[in-house]
Structure 1
Amino acid sequence: MQIVKSLERADLKLSFVNADATQARTLRDLQPGQVRLTARLDGHDEAVALAPQDAAEAREIGVALANLAGTVGAKNLHVAANGYAAALAGAASAAHWKDTRFRGVAFTAAETPQLHLEGLGDAEQARVQAVLAGMTFTRELVSAPANHLSPATLAREARTLERCGLDVDVLDTEEVKARGMNLLAAVAAGSKDGPRLIRVTLPARGECQKVVALVGKGITFDTGGYSLKTAQGMYGMKNDMGGAATVLGTMRALADLRELVPEGVEIRAYVAAAENMVGPDAMRPGDIYRAANGKTVEVTNTDAEGRLVLADALAVACDEGATELVDVATLTGAKITALGSDMAAVFSNDRDLVTRLQRAADAAGESIWELPLHQPYLRAYQKNTIADLKNSDGNPAGGSIKAALFLSQFVTRPWAHLDIAGNAAKEDVATGWGVGTLTEYVLNR
């Protein structure tokens, strides 16, 4: 859905009424966030909603409007003025997204509905469109099947961000090994494609004083390795690079909003990309590898691979001068059990960082919930091994917490971990979750 400054004509018009207005009383049971079709005229359709009282209600209206537009076949939408035009515009545009690239007949630009909102300022529109561009980039990456998106093709997709003025560097298999990233190399060893470390940089305006690192898990497909998943558990594992897609989409959004990034702050995205496959060179349960920061890890479960690639990427980001880090990953099924798919889990070693992330999520209309880094749980990864750490203790209880504690052993700076398992795709539809939160987090440092 394209947000436009004006329309020659609208075939669906949305107006608002106050909850206590006479018109509202005649619209029986109209609830906040709902959109109701009220008239089908020769030239256009008309719909009404209760005036939103906050951004959350406006987002609900945006989604409902997009659904109604699809039902009635509207291509030109006009929305009356309200106090939350940006939130409504973003939600409506995001809700309309569909990936038709792999259908026999693809969706064309001419079929894209146009959306005009009274009262949406130029600055607001630019910010909404930048985030939507980032979300679209993220959703297309997450939606692509594994035979179209491997670590190599993910790196090529990341290089397209150079057209937006970002710097992109890619380390291949030999360079990854030379950098000491043996955990990332081990996860990728069963795949013919090999690993990639992708670094995308938005340089600071003026002298660089802070480096914010956004680190994404980029498992383009996860069989579980020799700790093989079930058939049902393996389906959908093309989405296991949702964290990588989120940080790359955030960089796409920030490229358009670079003038709003605080002066002196450099933003870097690190993506550790690999396929977790079975093969003659694949890692085995019991193998031990040395991470980029020198710690050794015994692989007790090859299906706990995401924390391995993230560990190396976090260590490298710290070594390269990151002053603050946020990693994003579809990491644990235990997170879905704890929080479902509407909210992400956040873990952190820094109280101020958590507070800023929570504010950013609220501003973006996304939900995060802090879970504790309960240090005694780490002992389960330290005992009964000849290495410094195990990557799993085989006990699902507290699994998200223990995975976060594992990651904490590879950071030396203020750090937060966002577990977005269940958030990156819902009902097999990529969501773009997290791009809004991370964009707000960077812009409002």
Structure 2
Amino acid sequence: MQFVNEPERADLTLTFLGEGRAEVPERITRDLKPGMVRLLTRGGEGDGAVALPPSNAAQARELGAALAKLATDLGAQSIRVGETPHAEALTLATLMAGSQDARYRSEAKPGPIELAVEGLSDEERDRVEALMAGIRFARDLVNAPANVLNPAMLGRETRRLEALGADVDVWDSTEIEARGMGLLSAVAAGSAGGPRLIRVTLPARGEVKRVIALVGKGITFDTGGYSIKPAQGMTTMKGDMGGAAAVLGAMRALSALRDRLPEGVEVRAYVPAAENMVGPNAMRPGDIYRAANGKTVEVVNTDAEGRLILADALAVACDEGATELVDVATLTGAKTVALGNDVAALYSTDPDLTARLRASAEASGEFVWEMPLHAPYLKAYQKETLADLRNSDMVPAGGSIKAALFLREFVTRPWAHLDIAGNALQDGQATGWGVGTLVGYVLEE
């Protein structure tokens, strides 16, 4: 679905109940609740629907999803929405709910094509368009099957951001090994294509005062390695790069909103990308590798690979001068046990950073819950090993916390970790979760 100023003809028009509105039959308004939309009229000149004006952004998002569904059910190709509070949230929700990824279908399912919403300011329109582009970019990356999107292809897709003014560098295995990123190299060793480290930079306006690093886990497919997953657990593993997609989607949106970046803020994205496969060179349980910051890690579980590649990327980002870091990763099954698929786990070493991320997530309609970095749990990763750390203790209890503590060993600046296992891919479709949170956090909105 595309966002337009005014469709030539509206197949479906949504108006809102309230003072000064035309009379609507009681049978239509009976039990009408916020977030619901009701069909009012049908005709050759277009259909009409009514709803209560949303009193907050959450209701507007719920209404947007309901409107997109109604339009699809009616076969409406163009939608017009009357002026209403929280129009920006409603617009983005309608666009995202009505968008379909038809790249892998022989015939696309019918759905709405155009949306026009009255009363949006130019600034709101620009933001909606930027976020829409970023979320779609993230969704397209996650939806792409692993035979289409591998680390090399992820690097090529990211280079599309250069047309928007971003600087993009893609390191191959030679450069990765030269930087001492032994953990990323180890995870990718079983794959014929090797690893990539993708770095995207949006230069600051004026003198650089802060460098924000967004780090995204980019496992384009995860078999589990020699600690192989069961068949049922492997079917969704094309989505194990949901963190990378969120980070790159945010950079896509921020590229379009560069004039709104706080002065002196440089934004960088770091995406360690690999396939976790089996093969003659693949890492094995018991192998020990050295990370970019010099620490050694014993691989106890080859299916705990995400924390390995993130550790190297976080260390490099700190070494290159990041002043604060946020990583995003589909990291642990333990997170979904604790919080389900709608709420992301937030870990942080800095209260101010935590507050800004929580505020941005709430404003974006993306829910996070702060979890404890309970330091004693790290001891389970430090015992019974010849290395500095193990990557797992093979005990599920507290698994998300322990993974976050592992990552903390590789950062030297204020840092936050978002575990989005379950958030990035739901009901077989990518969500684009995290793009809104990251964009709002960077723009401090």
Letter in 2 for 1:383: K
Contact 2:225/2:302 (8 A) holds in 1: yes
Counterpart of 2:54 in structure 1 is: 52
Contact 2:71 2:112 in 1 (8 A): no
Counterpart for residue 204 of structure 1? 204
Question: Is the CA contact 1:169–1:199 (under 8 Å) kept in the aligned structure 2?
Answer: yes
SS of corresponding position for 2:79: strand
Secondary structure of the equivalent of 2:138? Answer: helix
- 2:142 alignment counterpart: 142
Pairing 1:30–2:28 present: no
- TM-score for the superposition, normalised by structure 1: 0.97
Aligned match for 2:72, one of 48, 65, 70: 70
- In the other structure, the counterpart of 2:63 is 61
Q: How far did residue 114 of structure 1 move?
A: 1.2
Query: Against the structure 1 CA distance between its residues 12 and 179, is the aligned structure 2 distance closer, same or farther, given a 3 Å change threshold?
Result: same
Q: What is the CA distance between 1:118 and its match in structure 2? A: 1.2
| Corresponding residue number in structure 1 for 2:217 | 217
Q: Distance in 2 between matches of 1:370 and 1:170?
A: 33
- 2:198, 2:270 within 8 Å by CA — same for their partners in 1? yes
Q: For residue 103 of structure 1, what is the aligned residue in structure 2? A: 105
CA contact (8 A) 2:72 2:112 kept: no
Label 1:369 to 1:19 Cα distance change in 2 as closer, same or farther (>3 A): farther
Identity %, equivalent residues: 65
- What is the RMSD of the two structures over their aligned residues, measured on CA atoms? 1.5
Task: Write out per-residue CA displacement over residues 7-55 of structure 1, whole angstroms, 9 at most, x where no aligned residue.
Answer: 2221101011149997485421111101111111221111111110101
Any conservation in 2 of the 1:24–1:30 contact (CA below 8 Å)?
A: no
Which residue pairs with 1:79 in the alignment? 81
Q: Please give the secondary structure, in 2, of the residue aligned with 1:229.
A: coil
Distance (Å, rounded) in 1 between the aligned partners of 2:35 and 2:85:
14
Alpha carbons 2:239, 2:424 under 8 Å: kept = yes
Q: How many residues align?
A: 443
Give the equivalent residue in structure 2 for 1:156. Answer: 156
- Secondary structure, in 3 states, of the residue corresponding to 1:392? coil
Deviations for 1:126-153, whole angstroms, at most 9, x for unmatched residues?
1011001000000000000000000000
Rounded Cα–Cα distance in structure 1 between residues aligned with 2:61 and 2:19: 18
Mapped to 1, the partners of 2:331 and 2:118 lie a distance apart of 41
Q: 1:377 aligns to what SS in structure 2?
A: helix
One-letter code of the match for 2:160? T
State the TM-score, normalized to the length of structure 2: 0.97
List per-residue Cα deviations over 1:285-323 (Å, max 9, x = no partner). 000001000110000000000000000000000000000
**Structure 2 unmatched runs, 5+:** none
Partner SS for 1:126: helix
Check conservation: 2:138, 2:245, Cα contact below 8 A. Answer: yes
Whether contact under 8 Å (1:272, 1:309) holds in the other structure is yes
**Where do 1:28-427 residues align within 5 Å?**
28-105=30-107, 113-427=113-427
Report how far residue 106 of structure 1 moved. Answer: 5.1
Judged with a 3 Å threshold, the aligned counterparts in structure 2 of structure 1 residues 23 and 328 are, in CA distance, closer, same or farther, namely: same
Q: Report if aligned partners of 1:101, 1:107 keep a CA contact under 8 Å in 2.
A: no
Match of 2:442 in 1: 442
- Asked whether the 8 Å contact 1:215–1:244 carries over to 2, the reply is yes
CA distance in 2, matches of 1:107, 1:46: 23
Distance in 2 (CA, whole Å) between partners of 1:335 and 1:24 is: 48
Task: Judge conservation of contact 1:335–1:400 (CA < 8 Å) in 2.
Answer: yes
1:343 aligned partner, one-letter code = V
Question: What is the deviation of 1:209?
Answer: 1.1
**Distance between the aligned counterparts of 1:294 and 1:426, measured in 2?**
38
Q: Is the partner of 1:341 in helix, strand or coil? A: coil
